[in-house]
Structure formats: structure tokens, C-alpha cells
Amino acid sequence: MNASDTPPVTLRPYHPPRGRRVAHPQRARSAATPELTSDVSIAARPFFESVGFRVVREQHPVKEGVELTNYRMRKVLSPSATAAS
């Protein structure tokens, strides 16, 4: 096999993952979503708290044999969701 026999290859630029997306509260409100929830790492917790999320519970999932710590966080968007909780 020589170079002229090899099929063409298309290369695409590498785009590294950008982490989890945070839902935009205005879009969630317009969709009548009463709250947003997320499982958040220790490093991400201060950011989520700064935009109004509160810790619901600390969690300890095991991934590939390693116990991690993360947090289930919640942000209430609708006043009626607070009354229902």
C-alpha cells in the first residue's frame, strides 16, 4: 500500500469539554419551571451559591472506586414552589 492508496482523513479542531451548563433562570421561568437543581462539585459550590442556589444535601457518590463529595443544590424560581416545599 502506498500513499495514494490511503483514504483521505478529515481533521477537526479539538474542543475540550466546558463543564456542565447552568440553565438560564429567565428561560426556566418562562417555561414555568418552579426550581433548578444540580449536583455540584466542591469547587463549583461557591459559584452556585453566588447565583442563588442553596445546598439541599451533601452527597458521597463513588466513581471508579473513589468516594467523592458533591452537593445537591436547588434554586427556587417561583414563589409558589416555596409554599409547596
pLDDT digits (tens, 9 = 90+) for 19-42: 555 556 666 666 667 888 889 999
Q: Which of 18-22, 26-30, 61-65, 72-76 has the lowest mean pLDDT?
A: 18-22
Give the pLDDT mean for 55-83. Answer: 85
Give the 3-state DSSP-derived string for the chain, with helices as H, strands as E and coil as C: CCHHHCCCCCCCCCCCCCCCCCCCHHHHHHCCCCEEEEEEECCCHHHHHHCCCEEEEEECCEECCEECCEEEEEEECCHHHHHHC
**Domain chopping of the chain, boundaries:** 23-77
The pLDDT of residue 14? 57
Handedness of CA 10, 11, 16, 21 (dihedral sign): negative
Average pLDDT, the chain: 75
**Cβ atoms within 10 Å of 25's Cβ, excluding its own:** 14
pLDDT higher for 72 or 79? 72
